Copies of this chain bind each other. A is one copy, B any other.
Amino acid sequence: MFHIGRLSTVDLEEEITPEEDIVRSRPKEIPHNEKLLSLKFESLDYDNSENQLFLEEERRMSHMGFRCLEITRWVICGLIGFLTGLIACMIDIAVEKLAGYKYLAVKQNIEKYTELGGLSISLILWAVLNSAFVMLGSLAVAFLEPIAAGSGIPQIKCFLNGVKIPRVVRLKTLVIKVFGVICSVAGGLAVGKEGPMIHSGAVVAAGVSQGRSTSLKKDFKIFEYFRRDTEKRDFVSAGAAAGVSAAFGAPVGGVLFSLEEGASFWNQLLTWRIFFASMVSTFTLNFFLSIYHGKPGQLSSPGLINFGRFDSDVSSVFIVFRGVLGALFNIINYWLTIFRIRYIHRPCLQVMEAMLVAAVTATVSFAMIYFSNDCQPLGQDNTEEYPLQLFCADGEYNSMATAFFNTPERSVRSLFHNPPGTYNPVTLGVFTLAYFALAVWTYGLTVSAGVFIPSLLIGAAWGRLFGILLSFIIWADPGKYALIGAAAQLGGIVRMTLSLTVILVEATGNVTYGFPIMLVLMTAKIVGDYFIEGLYDVHIKLQSVPFLHWDAPPTSHWLTAREVMSSPVTCFNRVEKVGRIVDVLSNTSTNHNVLIKSKTCLASSRLSQRKLQLKDFRDAYPRFPPIQSIHVSQDERECMMDLTEFMNPTPYTVPQETSLPRVFKLFRALGLRHLVVVDNENRVVGLVTRKDLARYHVGKDGLEELHLAQT
């Protein structure tokens, strides 16, 4: 029997925990947004519920059966890698094509009007083209699938952390995301396609591993064993890694990204599978791109952003940059996001803002190119894709145009590799400021877009600027300072550590840059953390997601399970009257935190009179029907129902005197969804859930507690 609070007496043989069903009483006032934890986010359960059905199935399975499962997992990972690589390839080609057409049209127009003297027409053409692309993408995102906005990395972080973000791994999200990112990059916004690619990988993984699509209402009846949070999480890790791997040509970096963001428990085989998916993804991408570029089999330029090879003389770049600019980016974007949350929440407003940004981006770019008189001789090898002559002499081109009249990836590469003297310092300085402002404004728009490439571009610009200035004093290769600057800026914004180092090292293709890049990222993180959190964490916090960090706050040893738990707990008997179950579920579902799993069983077992199988749960996973959708007659209400098979007879428990860090460690390491708190006689006195733990964090004055809100 279960207990309500401490009232009931004991029959511990029958202690059950089918699902968490708690009625809470919390303060209702809604203070400042980021001081809240939203109750609308459910938790995923990364601990297998070892109920009778599950155990029976596991026990029936032979050793060979487990081996087959293992092989299936490998096959799925291969598929995930393949499909992710394919999607990345598709995005890349589409963006290249569209942007190519756009720049060609504008270039021809500019060339035409440079002589005639009606360049404002070119400006309008450019702005209209940009806005049109962006409008398409923004419309799709704002009206069809708002979750596809942004880079998707914060959402994947949350998913891997164990937070259920609705609709984040659906097929529809994937389609909108891919369409959106093509539009926004082709539309010339200050965005990259890397974040969305990571998100795409995750969606692919979630879809493939479940062997069905709920968006398409198509069930292939395969991979049914993997239809639970634990297995799905592992595959989503692999998908995210494959996405990183495709985006940066960094398979190891991809694995480390997944681990850094998600894994709580490292498992050799799992990691190896994730790495496999990453490798397949890079390979697929390279293979198809090499075919597309007409050089099949030439696989030596992996990844979409390939920084090009750096040679190995690094002894002169030991200057450590700071993360101040990165922090500044985050702070401005933070205020902007708060402004957006307050005032721009209607979809049409959002689309209009996105179009405005696109037009402004075109205008700023145009103005910069127009007013800069920085002419450079056209190289022999003609590496510029779209050299703009404008008012330069014949055989020369406008160097500001290399930075603005190009996709950001190419601009980064030219900042890294163009020989010293290509850029004039004033040009670079103005470019940095302008692009910084545009990128800050752009991130958070209702378009699907990543922040990696703009960050790299800003960093590369001021790094190169610094290198040029330094070269007036001592000899210095500005391209290397551009690399270091890019690392510092990106590190200052996203605050990733090991994985980012490896990604950058893999993208440069030179292992010896590891040490300076690491030092730079470390400084950027330390300096940046002093001011504000990383950009992704800022956005996660602004959405009031109950995100669990690595450890409990160090000064939280004062708190015990008794203080953090939710109580009283609503309990069912092992055999319970249907009426009571329906009542409790209906009641708490208006509140929160109710899984209708048990109700599903109830319904089908009542109606069809057959024994419920694990299969029934799997078919319903992950969207169980709400209690209100099931009609229960008065007759049925009087029946008794046996919950024994569905309860987990051996949940993890802690005594109520356990300190918060200890509770936290158990909860986080095992990826639990709820942890039962018991008293000395093993009676249930409360439940600890994700929100109870995520509430506590270290603020300026020590330990702070967030409020919980319904929104």
Q: Do the beta carbons of A680 and B15 come within 8 Å of each other?
A: yes
Q: Of A116-124, A144-152, A654-662, which stretch is located at the interface?
A: A654-662
Choose one: B252, B268, B298, B557; the contact of A497 (CB below 8 Å). Answer: B268
A265 contacts across to B, CB distance below 8 A: 264-266, 669
Choose one: B268, B315, B509; the contact of A550 (CB below 8 Å). Answer: B268
Q: Do the beta carbons of A300 and B312 come within 8 Å of each other?
A: yes
A50 at the interface (CB under 8 A from B): yes
Q: Of A60-68, A326-334, A472-480, which stretch is located at the interface?
A: A60-68
18 contacts between A and B (CB under 8 A): A50-B659, A59-B557, A62-B555, A63-B554, A63-B702, A66-B555, A249-B511, A252-B501, A263-B266, A275-B518, A279-B514, A279-B518, A299-B512, A300-B313, A509-B510, A650-B658, A665-B670, A678-B682
A282 at the interface (CB under 8 A from B): yes
A652 contacts across to B, CB distance below 8 A: 654, 666
CB distance from A27 to the nearest CB of B (A): 26
A681 contacts across to B, CB distance below 8 A: 12, 681-682
C-alpha gap A62/B556 in the complex (Å)? 10
Interface-central residue, A276, A300, A678, by most chain B CB under 10 Å: A300
A314 at the interface (CB under 8 A from B): yes
Q: Do the beta carbons of B59 and A554 come within 8 Å of each other?
A: no
Choose one: B502, B518, B557; the contact of A276 (CB below 8 Å). Answer: B518
C-alpha gap A61/B702 in the complex (Å)? 12
CB distance from A698 to the nearest CB of B (A): 7
Q: Do the beta carbons of B502 and A252 come within 8 Å of each other?
A: yes
Interface residues of A in 654-694 (CB under 8 A from B): 654-655, 657-659, 662, 665-666, 669-670, 678, 680-682
Closest to A502 in B: B252
Q: Do the beta carbons of B13 and A680 come within 8 Å of each other?
A: yes
C-alpha gap A518/B555 in the complex (Å)? 44
Q: Do the beta carbons of A655 and B662 come within 8 Å of each other?
A: no
A384 at the interface (CB under 8 A from B): no
Choose one: B299, B522, B558, B658; the contact of A314 (CB below 8 Å). Answer: B299
Closest to A509 in B: B511
Q: Do the beta carbons of B515 and A279 come within 8 Å of each other?
A: yes
Number of interface residues of A (CB under 8 A): 80
A348 contacts across to B, CB distance below 8 A: none
Give the number of copies in the complex: 2
Closest to A267 in B: B550
A302 at the interface (CB under 8 A from B): yes
A55 at the interface (CB under 8 A from B): yes
A272 at the interface (CB under 8 A from B): yes
A259 at the interface (CB under 8 A from B): yes
CB distance from A545 to the nearest CB of B (A): 18
CB distance from A416 to the nearest CB of B (A): 17
A216 at the interface (CB under 8 A from B): no
A297 contacts across to B, CB distance below 8 A: 315
C-alpha gap A494/B294 in the complex (Å)? 41
A109 contacts across to B, CB distance below 8 A: none
A275 in contact with B498 given A283-B515, A313-B300, A314-B299 (CB within 8 Å): yes
CB distance from A554 to the nearest CB of B (A): 4
Closest to A315 in B: B297
Q: Do the beta carbons of B522 and A276 come within 8 Å of each other?
A: yes
Choose one: B259, B511, B659; the contact of A266 (CB below 8 Å). Answer: B259
A551 at the interface (CB under 8 A from B): yes
A249 contacts across to B, CB distance below 8 A: 511
CB distance from A102 to the nearest CB of B (A): 33
CB distance from A495 to the nearest CB of B (A): 10
Q: Do the beta carbons of A267 and B551 come within 8 Å of each other?
A: yes
Choose one: B66, B282, B658; the contact of A554 (CB below 8 Å). Answer: B66
Known: A252-B502, A681-B682. 11 other contacts (CB 8 A): A50-B659, A59-B558, A264-B266, A271-B497, A275-B498, A275-B501, A300-B313, A652-B654, A652-B666, A666-B670, A681-B681
Interface residues of A in 141-181 (CB under 8 A from B): none
Q: Do the beta carbons of A272 and B497 come within 8 Å of each other?
A: yes
Residue interface bits A623-638, CB-to-B below 8 A is 1, else 0: 0000000000000000
C-alpha gap A411/B194 in the complex (Å)? 43
Q: Do the beta carbons of A680 and B649 come within 8 Å of each other?
A: no
A457 at the interface (CB under 8 A from B): no
A58 at the interface (CB under 8 A from B): yes
Residue interface bits A514-544, CB-to-B below 8 A is 1, else 0: 1100100010000000000000000000000
A252 in contact with B514 given A12-B681, A50-B662, A265-B669 (CB within 8 Å): yes
